[in-house]
């Protein structure tokens, strides 16, 4: 199975900050990576697919980059509604696997 490791596990930031979250795959997955945002008690929401493609309706302050084993989610200017938990997921092969999550908290 492909293991996905996110860092950091949690991060504190303020509105307006630039935030980056890293995801590393245990083996190469080309660009087959997705990013999700999840708020408490809610279903996850797809933000990025194919490592860097923005899902329809997602604000442009979210961006994704990377290929192979190393990937980054960037939020260019944090908004109050962005405080949530973020997960990466490899979509290269079964079993699909997720990172452990990164909790983005207000500083």
Partner 1 sequence: EVQLVESGGGLVQPGGSLRLSCAASGITVSNNYMNWVRQAPGKGLEWVSTIYSDGNTYYADSVKGRFTISRDNSKDTLYLQMNSLRADDTAVYYCARGVGDFQDWGQGTRVTVSS
- Under the binding rule (CB under 8 A), the answer on residue 71 touching partner 1 is no
Query: Nearest-CA neighbor of 6 among 20, 54, 75, 58?
Result: 20
Q: Which of 25, 49, 82, 84 binds partner 1 (CB under 8 A)?
A: 49
Q: Which stretch binds partner 1 (CB under 8 A): 19-27, 60-68, 73-81, 84-92?
A: 84-92
- Under the binding rule (CB under 8 A), the answer on residue 34 touching partner 1 is yes
C-alpha 2/C-alpha 25 separation (Å) is: 7
Mask 13-32, x = binds partner 1 (CB under 8 A)? -------------------x
Nearest approach, Cβ of residue 14 and partner 1 (Å): 26
Residues that bind partner 1 (CB under 8 A): 32, 34, 36, 38, 42-46, 49-50, 55, 87, 89, 91-92, 94-101
């Amino acid at each position: 199975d492909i293991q996905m490791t996110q860092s950091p596990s949690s991060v504190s930031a303020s509105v307006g900050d630039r935030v980056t979250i890293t995801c590393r795959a245990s083996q190469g997955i080309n660009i087959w990576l997705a990013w999700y945002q999840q708020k408490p008690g809610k279903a996850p929401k797809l933000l990025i697919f194919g490592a860097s493609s923005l899902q329809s309706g997602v604000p442009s302050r979210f961006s994704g980059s990377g290929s192979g084993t190393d990937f980054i989610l960037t939020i260019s200017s944090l908004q109050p509604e962005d405080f949530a938990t973020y997960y990466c997921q490899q979509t290269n092969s079964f079993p699909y696997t997720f990172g452990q999550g990164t909790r983005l908290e207000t500083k």
